[in-house]
Amino acid sequence: MPLSRYRYIVVEGPIGAGKTTLARRLAARLDAETLLEQPGENPFLPRFYQDMARYALPTQLFFLFQRATQLAELAQLPLFRQATVSDFLFDKDPLFARLTLSGDELALYQKMYETLKPRAPKPDLVVYLQARIETLLERVKRRGIGYERPIQPEYLAALAEAYARFFHHYQEAPLLIVNSDRLNFAADDADFELLVGRIAEMRGARAYFNLG
């Protein structure tokens, strides 16, 4: 089956999984548009990694507004638009909020989420990238983004576990679960081609890709 059958692909995974890199490569292969998170535009994010309790709510609300706006624009495009590859799934947005918010702040976030949740098209495919915590930490360190330096292993482990729980129950779109520990989509063309082949072979609602 050709990759051209996919009109809207989402690549997801915790910090350091490589979702943005893979989204860009898939978009180039498909001659598709990209719909990417813009963490550098969030003025609260650097402060969040320094003091999560204080800055979790404004950080989360900024991302919520940003993602909702992006997807609202996508929903207005005609049916036979150019294909789109994204590095975020809006349905996953509350995952971060439940990790960092509680009480009245979490209740406020939930109200805002339900109000802003856009009627965007459902993905034709979601690619969920998994990796060991050690791998995620090493990748975060290697990319050298200054505001990510304070990220603690405990937070990353909790985030990865939350992703695993979320996608264990996810049924809204076909899902390809990829163990990315031994895959380098940025530098290894062979790894990328292996994944492209697995996507092309995708059948049914859920599949797995693991080099073993």
Structural domains of the chain ordered from first start: 3-209 (3.40.50.300)
Contact 110, 94 (CB under 8 A): yes
Mean of per-residue pLDDT scores for the chain: 91
pLDDT above 90 (res 95)? yes
Question: pLDDT tens-digit profile of 119-153?
Answer: 778 899 999 999 999 999 999 998 888 888 889 99
- The average pLDDT across 103-125 equals 92
Residue type, 23: A
Rounded to two decimals, the pTM is 0.92
Q: What is the maximum alpha-carbon separation in the chain?
A: 49
SS3 for 153-180, per residue?
HHHHHHHHHHHHHHHHHCCCCCEEEEEC
Q: How far apart are CA 89 and CA 37, in angstroms?
A: 10
pLDDT above 80 (res 162)? yes
Task: Name the pairing type of β-strands 8-12 and 33-35.
Answer: unpaired
Q: Alpha carbon of 85 to those of 36, 70, 206, 207: distances in Å?
A: 8, 13, 19, 19
Question: pLDDT tens-digit profile of 182-207?
Answer: 888 888 899 999 999 999 988 889 99
Looking at residue 80, its pLDDT comes to 47
Q: How far apart are CA 131 and CA 153, in angstroms?
A: 13
